[in-house]
Structure 1
């Protein structure tokens, strides 16, 4: 019978490995749990506390420094995207983030009272953008008026007034028929989005001007209504007027100029049988159009001889007569603008176009320019004002 040879003995290396493995299997020690040093733990906590403390101290200082530097020093234009006065829309915001060119430092607000009118808007005087002169339509006869008819302050009424009484005055005035039925051209021209939007539709402008000249109540009654609003505004908005709140000051000037500007809007060119204002809107040269802003305290910009029309001459004669009338003291806007406008018109058209009237200065509030402050939107709340008669 065959007997197999004995198995060879394992090599010493294999024996050593197997012995170690067996030893680890039979006698595996329990690893000791490492314990952190108390001193090292205390130092880590102390370091963390100091880091948090310095972060709390330094972050506000850095932010304040950046805010101050953007006002006082030249900086990349892209920084303006983070400015609280930035009103960029998305496209302009994205563009500003890629603009790292330097520009001049920001000018500080000179008068602290400007902060009270940040959410208001300076009266906008929008000229119809016509590439060429359009023939103005003639004065219509009983046209169908738009419903509702354009009204001043027809979008939102900011609550950012100095006093609650002034806010309530505007809220009540814009809702009452005593104002709405009179369709004040002096306020529509700068404070009515509906009226501004139709400036590109010359026929719609013609209809609306007819509507301002042909109200259901008489012009004399409207004069009395505006006089009452002026008195109430002076009482309810005394603080706002003193603070040069543009909303209050602009309304006061517009209400006081109601009668004069209604006559200006309703003036007719006898040759063309068209409203002079509609002719100014229809012209591609805005020079004659700008003369309608004078009673509102807005100065005349540079003009051309396109202003040398019979309508402009008649309009300036109307203004000159108003400044020598018994109501001259209330026409604070025209007082501030007529003299310069007369000089510019005479230089462009000849000395016979406007009478150089000496106007006494007035202490009444005047519109002031708050520059870049208009870009800040800090309205605490807005109240939608419904449009309708």
Structure 2
């Protein structure tokens, strides 16, 4: 009978190779057990501070490095600022210098008296709208691009004339600020819409919810257009109140007075709910309108809606400190809301996991060679 049982090699024929393989495996396992916890501890400690090697970024699945940047980062072990936590994604839109401001202070070099609040003025047709220039194609997903196309064309947005979005994303609204009377008319139009403020609040809340869904990937990828749009939609009601605030002495819109002034110090405070910081200011900011505006902001941060005002949470504290330093300590209420600085503690997260895999891979390769 033919024996179909596979023929096995005689183990005694390779005694040296078997022993060496077993010894190498044991040694590799032993070093892995020792070094992996040390690596984890080292990464955990390093992420408690503000720096980490940039070479680890090349192995992150969220990295946007091209091949050249990737290879360069492998040899770049310099230290740089740590990543901001995903939980504070909306704070990534915060800018710390005036050169990054997306809106422009009017170019008139001398002060112009602000006109009084108009009575039923003739509004421009069409009225200035946000995103009135060609939308960038720099979107991560088609769904987000389509969302912006649909949102900018719907009456639910256009009828509400959102000051929070026009301030930073309307070319026409920005350019008209060289004409103080036209600016006065536009502000009246934002404060007097066919739809009620409550209905517009509901509309903006719906848009914000839809943006989170349609632009989830873009928000995760820190697409500034998506991130800033969400901040603006959430700050709609607060910024409408800010735009419509009236100086009772002059009977003029406070915002129009800020635009008319040759000193932009007061003007900068209207950017706070959008997550943009106030630069150096002068005593020109020490007026009743700025004081009232900061009181309005502080009240909003003390309300139940404070959690949605991520831009203001990130900028109010610094702005209040600067204002008090220039105008006097009681000028703005100092609150304990989040500052523009990110939290000091960050978990290793995905980047740390990739670093561990890298370390283990290098260790295994060296042990097996």
The Cα of 1:361 is off from its aligned counterpart by: 7.0
Which of 250, 258, 264 aligns to 2:236? It is 258
5+ long unaligned stretches in structure 1:
1-66, 73-107, 112-121, 365-389
Native 8 Å contact 1:123 1:250 kept in 2: no
Question: In the alignment, what sits opposite 2:186?
Answer: 208
Which of 137, 140, 143 aligns to 2:118? It is 140
Which of 194, 217, 230 aligns to 1:239? It is 217
Larger Rg: 1
Which of 158, 165, 169 aligns to 2:143? It is 165
Cα distance in 2 for residues equivalent to 1:300 and 1:127:
13
Cα distance in 1 for residues equivalent to 2:196 and 2:112:
32
Cα distance in 2 for residues equivalent to 1:296 and 1:353:
22
Question: In the alignment, what sits opposite 2:292?
Answer: 314
Native 8 Å contact 1:125 1:293 kept in 2: no
Please tell me whether residue 194 in structure 1 is matched to residue 172 in structure 2: yes
The Cα of 1:130 is off from its aligned counterpart by: 2.4
The Cα of 1:225 is off from its aligned counterpart by: 0.1
Runs of 4+ in 1 over 4 A off after TM superposition: none
The Cα of 1:124 is off from its aligned counterpart by: 1.1
Larger fraction in helix: 2
The Cα of 1:287 is off from its aligned counterpart by: 0.1
Please tell me whether residue 272 in structure 1 is matched to residue 268 in structure 2: no
Count of residues in Structure 1 that have an aligned counterpart in Structure 2 = 254
The Cα of 1:149 is off from its aligned counterpart by: 0.2
Native 8 Å contact 2:301 2:313 kept in 1: yes
Cα distance in 2 for residues equivalent to 1:361 and 1:238:
25
The Cα of 1:360 is off from its aligned counterpart by: 4.2
For the residue of structure 2 that corresponds to 1:158, the secondary structure is: coil
Native 8 Å contact 1:123 1:191 kept in 2: no
RMSD over aligned CA atoms reads 2.7
Please tell me whether residue 285 in structure 1 is matched to residue 263 in structure 2: yes
Question: In the alignment, what sits opposite 1:151?
Answer: 129
Native 8 Å contact 1:339 1:357 kept in 2: yes
TM-score normalized by structure 1? 0.62
Which of 295, 301, 306 aligns to 1:323? It is 301
Which of 353, 374, 378 aligns to 2:331? It is 353
Cα 1:279–1:142 change in 2 (3 A) is same
For the residue of structure 1 that corresponds to 2:311, the secondary structure is: helix
Which of 165, 175, 181 aligns to 2:153? It is 175
Q: How does 1:1-389 map to 2 (within 5 A)?
A: 124-360=102-338
CA-to-partner distance for each residue in 1:124-181, whole Å, 9 max, x for gaps?
Answer: 1210122221110000000000000000000101122001110010010000000000
Native 8 Å contact 1:199 1:281 kept in 2: yes
Native 8 Å contact 1:209 1:265 kept in 2: yes
Native 8 Å contact 1:295 1:334 kept in 2: yes
CA-to-partner distance for each residue in 1:254-288, whole Å, 9 max, x for gaps?
Answer: 00000000000000000000000000000000000
Cα distance in 1 for residues equivalent to 2:119 and 2:339:
42
CA-to-partner distance for each residue in 1:208-264, whole Å, 9 max, x for gaps?
Answer: 000000000100000000000000000000010011000000000000000000000
Cα distance in 2 for residues equivalent to 1:337 and 1:153:
24
For the residue of structure 2 that corresponds to 1:301, the secondary structure is: coil
CA-to-partner distance for each residue in 1:274-320, whole Å, 9 max, x for gaps?
Answer: 00000000000000000000000000000000000000000000000
Cα distance in 2 for residues equivalent to 1:204 and 1:133:
16
Cα 1:336–1:234 change in 2 (3 A) is same
